[in-house]
A and B are shown apart, each in its own frame.
Chain A
Amino acid sequence: QQQVKQSPQSLIVQKGGISIINCAYENTAFDYFPWYQQFPGKGPALLIAIRPDVSEKKEGRFTISFNKSAKQFSLHIMDSQPGDSATYFCAASTYNFNKFYFGSGTKLNVKP
């Protein structure tokens, strides 16, 4: 049973456009929702994270929107750039960070 469901599997966006990736979860004990960015042949790196006490968090061109009642959260990349082309993973964890559950990943391709 997949704890975190992510969509779409792949995404093509024109340079300057908005990229949107969605995730949904079931376990209401989850308390921490990070997004990771992975370039080919590399390990993932933390991009941005949110706790459920806020509905939105913004860092530069990256924004997480969080809907606690719907148990959904999404990553928005504004003014997408070719350098943003990578695979993005959402994840969820309980408050003690013992285990992280990852989504299946979204491969983003930003066309110049």
Chain B
Amino acid sequence: DGGITQSPKYLFRKEGQNVTLSCEQNLNHDAMYWYRQDPGQGLRLIYYSQIVNDFQKGDIAEGYSVSREKKESFPLTVTSAQKNPTAFYLCASRRGDLGYGRTGELFFGEGSRLTVL
């Protein structure tokens, strides 16, 4: 089955530690996204990538970093600089950014819930 796999599903972190959330897709999608979800605030964009080896900051990128070395992988690192990292993190992908087959549908993973102790 094709889809997006996020891991871990739950993660606990002590203050001052960096953590990396994994996102892997086997949909052969070009574009990938990281969103943060907090109660009552909807989904806010952290970073997005339209193509391998390229990514752009979203609206709340401070305290986060990403890499896109492979088409199928887009890991997110939550650094100690992120002031309030406790949240539900969602990874998404989208097909066909390079013209043919372009569609607006985002496919989401099941999320990773990060709690800072």
Contacts and interface: CB of A to CB of B under 8 A. Distances in A.
Interface of A: 4, 6, 9, 32, 34, 36, 41-46, 49, 89, 93, 97-105
Contact of B94 (A41, A97, A101, A104): A97
Contacts of B97: 97
A43 B94 contact: no
B53 interface: no
Task: Give chain A's interface secondary structure class.
Answer: strand
A43 B104 contact: no
Contacts of B110: 41-43
Interface string B36-58: 00001111110010100000101
Interface of B: 4, 31, 33, 35, 40-45, 48, 50, 56, 58, 90, 92, 94, 97, 102-106, 108-111
B6 to A, nearest CB: 8
Given A89-B43, A99-B58, A34 B104 contact: yes
A89 B109 contact: no
Contacts of B44: 102
Nearest to B91: A43
